[in-house]
A and B are shown apart, each in its own frame.
Chain A
Amino acid sequence: MTLLIGCLALLVISVVLLGVFRDLLYAAVALALASVILSIVLFHFGANVAGAFELSVCAGLITVLFVSTVSLTKDSDQKDEARLPALFILPAVALFAGVAYFLVRWLAPSLPAPTAAQTVPFREVFWGLRMTDVLGQISLVLVGVFGLLAILRARSAEGHHD
């Protein structure tokens, strides 16, 4: 229980830092930290597959992608952002946490007891039962790649208004 509370507290702190950091590189690192802590929480609940995914894909692969992208665009001009939104982050997180706490308290009696550990092998789940999600994930990666290429492209003068 102590580990869980500690992890959740660290998770909140890392998410707050993610919103507060002015440097995108630090924000990417804070996001990776949040993913690592979340994966610990998932392992703690016995969701080993989800934990492994969170650790490898979100904390690993996504961080590498973010850091690479940030490095590529680092030299471009970065305007100072308004300070106002940062002021709202802590109260917003506190409000969310409070609402979430009361919701969980209200809904907890309606939730069934956790089922026994899954017996279907991971390979069967990944390539058999949830292949559609894998297809969806592949498409999402593809969207990300095309999206980045589109956003980072040089504006072409091809056929400008004829």
Chain B
Amino acid sequence: MDAYVGSVLLLPLVGALLTPWVSKLGRRAADVLAGAVGLAVLASCLALVPAAGITTAFRAFGTEFAVDGLSLLFLVVISVIGFFCAVYSIDYIGHYGGRAKFYALLMLLIFGLNGVVLVRDLFSLYVFLEVASISSYVLVAYNLEFDGIESALKYLLLSAVATGMIVIGLSLIFASTGTLAFGELKAALSGGDNPLFLFAAALFLAGFGLKAAVVPFHAWLPDAHPSAPAPISAMLSGVVIKVAGVYSLTRLFLGIYPAPARVLKVFLVLGVASMAAGAIVAYFQTDMKRMLAYSSISQIGYIMIGLGLGNWLGVVGALFHVLNHALFKSLLFLNSGAVQFRTGTRDIREMGGLENRMPVTSVTSTFGTLSIAGIPPFNGFWSKLFIVLGALAAKNYLVAVLTISFSVFTLGYFLLLQRRVFFGNLNERWRDLKEAPAAMSFAVICLAAQCLLVGVFFNQVVRGLIEPAARVLLGGN
């Protein structure tokens, strides 16, 4: 078991170190290395799934690492999306050049994210968070164009504020408890209503909230996600905001901080605000990727609502939505990348009728649209249903009604996007357009299939992967 965990943590780092040398072996050598590393990490993660209910802890590099149900869920999300983004990049990244450097940074991003979910003390979590964050700043600016660099700077500056808050919070907690290890911290923090703990909690909430891009800490996301290369947009929306933000908030406030009732109310308020604001602003966008970015803010809102409800159904729904949103949002971002790759534009008003020219992209986008809108039997339906049932169980009828209403609203603006881009009359400019290259199409077909299969076999996924994660936070059911 330790070998699998070790592979998950170290293979991306080793891969990144080897990339400069391997890339000299041939033009496609870096592609093969990145794909092989991604596949090996994915296989190691999947090998851990049967033991999802068991916590495996071990010491390495002088610190404690552990895989419990919650870590495993996020590891699966990172490795699945990481692998398909690497595959997609085979045909996509040549457009930008610097193939080996791109893969090295992508692998370091995955290494940092895996480290975040495997460590068992807050300082190491912060260190790995920085590895992932700095990799993502560079990757956002990878196109070397004005909007990319500007967005990366905005992302960097706001993330620096978040990091500052997190470090100050860590310092205060360490100064008063003498430890940052999760287990010891849980015991130390249960010692009463210290104003210092409360202040540190506010700093963590703002810092990790900014990383998760929940309203009102979301300002960086609508610029950073559209400007990045498509696989990085998929990683950012599908994985990074969840690991850096949602995982850290969840681990801290549902796993370590005592009596989280007050914090859960904040989660609920932030969740509703994010769900509503993200969806409404997304509706008015004419930039395809920007619309998806605002939609990510809205979907993070659903996750925060589920966590904020604090009951079994809510938390299971939130954690299931972490997986589902990673799948369908990555799919939609990769498809938007395919459209931009062929048309050279992200402006929805310039598109139309692409379904005949790009049938794979069109069909898989429909899968993504139906998933994100919560249409059965696609995966998004089940996680949203759990969240609504959680709200009903908590007798929070307003939240239940709002969740359903904004899900319908999401269906509306995504169908509008689908119609404007893929249906209707073909714009004459795109008469000679071709489908996206093979590797890009393969990646989106696999992700679309997962959106459907996770929905069809939701019971097995929830029992095998989601409930063990929820049990870590809430104890037995």
Binding site for B on A (CB under 8 A): 103, 106-107, 110-112, 115, 127-137, 139-140, 142-144, 146-147, 149-151, 153-162
Q: 6 interchain pairs (CB within 8 A)?
A: A103-B199, A107-B199, A130-B62, A147-B138, A156-B97, A160-B95
Q: Smallest CB–CB gap between B7 and chain A, Å?
A: 16
- Mask, B345-383, CB within 8 Å of A = 1, is 000000000000000000000000000000000000000
Interface residues of B in 123-161 (CB under 8 A from A): 123-124, 127-128, 130-131, 134-135, 137-138, 141-142, 144
Q: Smallest CB–CB gap between A70 and chain B, Å?
A: 17
Complex CA distance for A137 and B99, rounded to whole angstroms: 24
B70 is an interface residue with CB less than 8 A from chain A: no
Q: Smallest CB–CB gap between A153 and chain B, Å?
A: 5
A158 CB contact (under 8 Å) in B13, B16, B99, B127? B99
- Inter-chain contact A162/B131, CB cutoff 8 Å: no
- Inter-chain contact A112/B144, CB cutoff 8 Å: no
Most chain B C-beta atoms within 10 Å of own C-beta, residue among A106, A137, A161? A161
B344 is an interface residue with CB less than 8 A from chain A: yes
CB within 8 Å for A153 and B134 given contacts A111-B175, A112-B176: no
Complex CA distance for A136 and B134, rounded to whole angstroms: 12
Q: Smallest CB–CB gap between B354 and chain A, Å?
A: 16
Complex CA distance for A49 and B96, rounded to whole angstroms: 43
CB within 8 Å for A133 and B127 given contacts A144-B134, A146-B101: yes
Complex CA distance for A56 and B125, rounded to whole angstroms: 24
A161 CB contact (under 8 Å) in B97, B135, B176, B341? B341
Q: Smallest CB–CB gap between A120 and chain B, Å?
A: 12
Binding site for A on B (CB under 8 A): 13, 16-17, 61-63, 94-99, 101-102, 104-105, 108, 111-112, 115, 119, 123-124, 127-128, 130-131, 134-135, 137-138, 141-142, 144, 172, 175-176, 178, 194-196, 199, 341-342, 344, 434, 437
Complex CA distance for A110 and B128, rounded to whole angstroms: 29
* Nearest residue, chain A, Cβ from B436: A162
Chain A residues with CB under 8 A of B111: 139
- Inter-chain contact B97/A155, CB cutoff 8 Å: yes
Chain B residues with CB under 8 A of A107: 172, 195-196, 199
- Inter-chain contact B17/A142, CB cutoff 8 Å: yes
CB within 8 Å for A110 and B135 given contacts A129-B62, A136-B127, A142-B108: no
A151 CB contact (under 8 Å) in B13, B96, B119, B138? B138
Complex CA distance for A103 and B124, rounded to whole angstroms: 26
CB within 8 Å for A132 and B176 given contacts A143-B105, A146-B105, A150-B102: no
Chain A residues with CB under 8 A of B108: 139, 142-143, 146
Chain A residues with CB under 8 A of B124: 132-133, 136
